[in-house]
Chains A and B, each alone.
Chain A
Amino acid sequence: MAQVVPAERDLRRVIGDGDAVPDGEVEGLTEHDLLELHRSLVLLRTYDERSVVYHRQGRIGTYAIFWNHEAMQAGSVYALEDEDWIFPSYRESAIGLLRGMPARTILQWWRGHPSGWWNPADYNVASICVPIATHVPHAAGLAWGKKLRGETAVAIAYFGDGATSEGSFHEGANFAAVTGAPVVLFCNNNQWAISTPLSAQTRADALVDKAVGYGIPGIRVDGGDVLAVYEATREAVARARTGGGPTLIEAVTYRAAPHATADDPSAYIDPERVEEERKNECVGRYERYLRRLGVLDEAAAEQVRAEAAELMRTGIAEAEAEPPADVALVFEHAHVDPLPAFEDDLRELRGG
């Protein structure tokens, strides 16, 4: 069971530090589950690290790094059923991998190629949301709409600490609460919004306190602890599915990498704190836990890493092999019935 470290304001944890803080365990998780979680973490980590390299090589465009955010994504998605809907922000751009989306698709999104746009219904993963917090009302609407139809699906929306200052977060959270929508509001509190620290974002003692204002339960969890995240999300999902409405989860972590490839955090971030966080990053932390438990054998771990690396090699090769998009696509898909002017526009664009 998750334990609470009193000094850290109800921060739930399962994984110990191999020293003074003992390891816990999550009820109901089998060894297979533990290894599946590991696979998810490695998949995301590999995607992220390879993407930074691809960016440097000029093979993808600007990229939002999610290094050390993998535990929040892998842990929460593992608590969902396939019928449940995921509403990612740019920080969770590769979360579709956990639902079987090809790496090619997500890489194409970051390459600005139209084949990087997917049908959300194929994976129950909504489009990557770029404008901060504006997808929170979408998750509320979808979950409420499913509930009205008598369906049992739950929706989870991911957003950052900065997002909690946006009007859309508030409107979406309140909408979800009022409609009793089966939603998990998952806040990745990495303590930075680009260069703005949490202390400049809010005077709230903890972001989870905002749940009180909506009359919904809140859970505060260590975002670097994949098992604690899993357990917290499982609790929230179970409540949502059985008619208990939304839950706000505040997962506390630290952004130990630049905001995005275009960002230079040296101007604002404390390098020592980053170094400390990097030593305690979430994938290594989980691997040490599994080793202490005697569950992770190094050969198997190597195998998982090799599979993830292969998936990325295939993904980027497939993405790069795709023919350039035809300019006619400029006019496609915005309307069911295209505007009459488009025909002339395309002719003119082609020089006719």
Chain B
Amino acid sequence: MAELTLVEAINDCFHVELGRDPDVMVLGEDVGRAGGVFRATAGLRDTFGPDRCFDTPLAEAGIMGAAVGLCMAGWRPVCEMQYDAFSYPGLDQLITHVGRYRWRTGGAMAFPLTIRMPYGGGVRAPELHDDSPETYYVHTPGVKVAIPSTPADAKGLLAAAIRSDDPVVVLEPKLHYRTLRGEVPEGEHVVELGKARIAREGSDVTLVAYGSMVPLCERAADELAGECSCEVLDVRTLKPLDEEALLASAAKTGRVVIVQEAPRTAGYGAELAAVLAEKAMLDLRGPVLRVTGYDVPYPYWQIEDAYMPSVERVARAVRKLLEY
């Protein structure tokens, strides 16, 4: 095991996966010569050549669209969107083709492409470098979505995405690219899609989160340690959701608080709450609560902390639920 930052783990994954499968290639803006603006693809161009780590023109729909064609030519393309909000020009391709092409061929052709991007706020960046767009992706039929919260999962989920014959979108918490370090298995490391992870065992309340909200929930659990025992469930794969793990934890604690950075309305937390309403009614001792971002454009960075779910807001929700 090596101690790596989250972004180093992603880079490690690329070196392993491009090394083991000659059909895997990386394309995106500034991924080659620069090694990616966050250096996630550093060294790939030197090791595997400019064709397998390709600097594309500045064109997100072009990147995703070309990747569809590359799949038809037998490649397994991994597309980097430079930032969360700059993936929006590519949504057209994602919705109209990436998620539909296999279906359109009656299952005859596979589209094993991966789209990955840094997402989320808290990094004191200018406008449109802070979005949490997971719902757009989750809501697109034919596409799977994963969000790691640890370096090991960043490597393992990306490897699973690359090896999946279905298109997978991986969102990486850029806030923790360099601030989070952890043990990462060396060599091949795959974390199966569709499996949640208990980040922390607890018995009174379950905090359900993914990505950058997982470390936040762990801090909230620390904060609440004298009052109650919090379980933290890291969803890891948003689609397909590990319902079993969610329902098991809800059954165990009887209380659920969902924490999501994205705007509230119709966010992924609403889906989690709906699953609990449908399948965990009798296990719950109180309402499912959500702590989320607000239904506003992600704010200017001087006041961005007001938008982000905080330890205090999570703790408040937990206390409210315990009193219910």
Task: Point out the residues of chain B lying under 8 angstroms from A139, CB to CB.
Answer: 69
User: Nearest Cβ distance between residue B21 and chain A, in whole angstroms?
Assistant: 14
Task: State whether B57 touches A168 (Cβ < 8 A).
Answer: no
**Interchain CB contact (< 8 A) of A117 among B25, B68, B105:** B105
Task: Determine, out of A52-60, A195-203, A334-342, the stretch whose residues face the partner at the interface.
Answer: A334-342
- A121 at interface (Cβ–Cβ under 8 A)? yes
Task: State whether B66 touches A117 (Cβ < 8 A).
Answer: no
Map CB proximity to A onto B38-78 as digits: 1 under 8 Å, 0 otherwise: 00000000000001000011010110111111111111000
Task: State whether A334 touches B99 (Cβ < 8 A).
Answer: yes
Task: Point out the residues of chain A lying under 8 angstroms from B240, CB to CB.
Answer: 339-341
Task: Point out the residues of chain A lying under 8 angstroms from B66, CB to CB.
Answer: 137-138, 140-141, 144, 172, 175, 179
Name the residue on A nearest B111 (C-beta).
A336
Map CB proximity to A onto B76-106 as digits: 1 under 8 Å, 0 otherwise: 0000000000000100110011011111111
**Interchain CB contact (< 8 A) of A333 among B51, B75, B106:** B106
Task: Determine, out of A36-44, A145-153, A265-273, the stretch whose residues face the partner at the interface.
Answer: A145-153
User: Nearest Cβ distance between residue B244 and chain A, in whole angstroms?
Assistant: 9
Task: Point out the residues of chain A lying under 8 angstroms from B104, CB to CB.
Answer: 117, 127
- B1 at interface (Cβ–Cβ under 8 A)? no
Task: Point out the residues of chain A lying under 8 angstroms from B141, CB to CB.
Answer: 334
CA distance A139 to B166 in the complex (A): 20
Task: State whether B93 touches A146 (Cβ < 8 A).
Answer: no
- A308 at interface (Cβ–Cβ under 8 A)? no
CA distance A335 to B164 in the complex (A): 10
Task: State whether A120 touches B105 (Cβ < 8 A).
Answer: yes
- B165 at interface (Cβ–Cβ under 8 A)? yes
| Contact of A145 with B102 at beta-carbon distance under 8 Å, contacts A131-B96, A336-B110 already known | no
Map CB proximity to B onto A241-278 as digits: 1 under 8 Å, 0 otherwise: 00000000000000000000000000000000000000
| Contact of A138 with B72 at beta-carbon distance under 8 Å, contacts A117-B104, A127-B101, A334-B100 already known | yes
Name the residue on A nearest B54 (C-beta).
A179
| Contact of A137 with B102 at beta-carbon distance under 8 Å, contacts A126-B72, A174-B57 already known | no
CA distance A119 to B105 in the complex (A): 5
Task: Output the residue of B67, B108, B142 with the most chain A CB within 10 A.
Answer: B108
Task: State whether A333 touches B102 (Cβ < 8 A).
Answer: yes
Name the residue on A nearest B244 (C-beta).
A340
CA distance A170 to B285 in the complex (A): 56
- A343 at interface (Cβ–Cβ under 8 A)? no
Name the residue on B nearest A134 (C-beta).
B96
Task: State whether B97 touches A120 (Cβ < 8 A).
Answer: no
Which residues 109-155 of A sit at the B interface, judged by CB distance below 8 A?
A: 114, 117-122, 126-127, 131, 134-146, 148-149, 151, 155
- B239 at interface (Cβ–Cβ under 8 A)? yes
- A167 at interface (Cβ–Cβ under 8 A)? yes
Map CB proximity to A onto B231-254 as digits: 1 under 8 Å, 0 otherwise: 000000001100100000000000
Task: Point out the residues of chain B lying under 8 angstroms from A171, CB to CB.
Answer: 57, 59, 61-62, 65
Task: State whether A127 touches B69 (Cβ < 8 A).
Answer: no
Task: Point out the residues of chain B lying under 8 angstroms from A339, CB to CB.
Answer: 239-240
CA distance A167 to B239 in the complex (A): 30
Task: Point out the residues of chain A lying under 8 angstroms from B108, CB to CB.
Answer: 118-122
Task: Point out the residues of chain B lying under 8 angstroms from A138, CB to CB.
Answer: 65-66, 68-69, 72, 97
Task: State whether B65 touches A141 (Cβ < 8 A).
Answer: yes
Task: Point out the residues of chain A lying under 8 angstroms from B99, CB to CB.
Answer: 334
| Contact of A175 with B62 at beta-carbon distance under 8 Å, contacts A117-B106, A335-B142 already known | yes
Task: State whether A172 touches B105 (Cβ < 8 A).
Answer: no
- B107 at interface (Cβ–Cβ under 8 A)? yes
Task: Point out the residues of chain B lying under 8 angstroms from A336, CB to CB.
Answer: 102, 110, 164-166
CA distance A179 to B25 in the complex (A): 15
Task: State whether A172 touches B65 (Cβ < 8 A).
Answer: yes
- A178 at interface (Cβ–Cβ under 8 A)? yes
CA distance A140 to B67 in the complex (A): 9
Name the residue on B nearest A171 (C-beta).
B62
- A17 at interface (Cβ–Cβ under 8 A)? no
Which residues 140-198 of A sit at the B interface, judged by CB distance below 8 A?
A: 140-146, 148-149, 151, 155, 167-168, 170-172, 174-175, 178-179
Name the residue on A nearest B55 (C-beta).
A178
- A332 at interface (Cβ–Cβ under 8 A)? yes
CA distance A334 to B143 in the complex (A): 9
Name the residue on B nearest A122 (C-beta).
B108
Task: Point out the residues of chain B lying under 8 angstroms from A334, CB to CB.
Answer: 99-100, 102-103, 141-142
- B109 at interface (Cβ–Cβ under 8 A)? yes
Task: State whether B164 touches A141 (Cβ < 8 A).
Answer: no
Task: State whether B102 touches A168 (Cβ < 8 A).
Answer: no
**Interchain CB contact (< 8 A) of B62 among A114, A117, A149, A174:** A174
Task: State whether B61 touches A168 (Cβ < 8 A).
Answer: yes
B-contacting residues of A (Cβ < 8 Å)?
Answer: 85, 114, 117-122, 126-127, 131, 134-146, 148-149, 151, 155, 167-168, 170-172, 174-175, 178-179, 332-337, 339-341
- The 4 A-B pairs with the shortest beta carbon distances in the complex, nearest first, are A141-B69, A137-B65, A145-B73, A171-B62
Identify 26 residue pairs between A and B in the complex whose beta-carbon atoms are under 8 Å apart, listed by A's number. Answer: A85-B72, A117-B103, A117-B106, A118-B108, A119-B106, A134-B65, A135-B65, A138-B66, A138-B69, A140-B66, A144-B66, A144-B69, A144-B73, A145-B69, A148-B51, A155-B69, A170-B59, A171-B65, A174-B57, A174-B62, A179-B66, A334-B103, A337-B166, A339-B239, A340-B194, A340-B240
